[in-house]
Structure 1
């Protein structure tokens, strides 16, 4: 199967559509969720369902990944502009960060242990959850 090359503009349009949809969905949700998080979830769902193919967003995604540290500069500047807020609520902010980090570690460890138990019980393979490029390319091709 021939791999199609998608232009920067085509990839940018796909990302723009996902961003617009995510902003709309984020406004509809009853709880405040950042539209960027909604966008990542929508992109993940679109990739898993095949609505968007990896080749359609891979080039721009790789380019953005290379400059991700530069994209955090505005956040750092905002943090410097909020030093008075940090001075007032610094201890509470550190506490929330610690609790959130511990919760994330706990949930990640628990889900990893659960996946290992299920895998050892042969109820599923990890490849069932994450389709690889090779399995997508060789769906009808069985090799031993």
Structure 2
């Protein structure tokens, strides 16, 4: 299981390094997720190699939200007077995410039906 965490966090760290070296406007964690996706897609890494580690991270995902939550609470002074903007932004981004996710799932289901997959 240690090897699984080394693979997962190593790829995440590689994303951080690439983000800093290339001065990309994308967070390193997002680049790391993309690199992990590419490695899984091209079967450089097999799902079985990281499955247990990923399961543990998913089960304990709530723990990862504690630091941003504490930071958010400590930044409440900065958000005074911007509540309407924040709420509108949250609603819009939620709606956009729901629509895009729905369209992607619908496309994949239709594509699967055309290929005879059920």
TM-score under structure 2 length normalisation: 0.82
Structure 2 match to 1:100: 93
**How large is the Cα RMSD of the aligned pairs?**
2.2
Structure 1 match to 2:18: 25
| Bigger helix fraction | 2
Instruction: Measure the CA separation in 2 of the matches of 1:119 and 1:51.
Output: 25
Moved more, 49-58 or 105-114: 105-114
TM-score under structure 1 length normalisation: 0.69
Residue 79 in 1 paired to residue 93 in 2? no
Structure 2 match to 1:130: none
Structure 1 residues 115 and 53: alpha-carbon distance in aligned structure 2, compared to 1, 3 A threshold: closer
Which structure 2 residue ranges, 5 or more long, are not aligned? none
Structure 1 residues 125 and 97: alpha-carbon distance in aligned structure 2, compared to 1, 3 A threshold: farther
Which structure 1 residue ranges, 5 or more long, are not aligned? 1-6, 128-144
Deviations 1:62-118 (Å, cap 9, x if unpaired)? Answer: 221221111111111001101112223221111111111111122122223333443
Structure 1 residues 125 and 91: alpha-carbon distance in aligned structure 2, compared to 1, 3 A threshold: farther
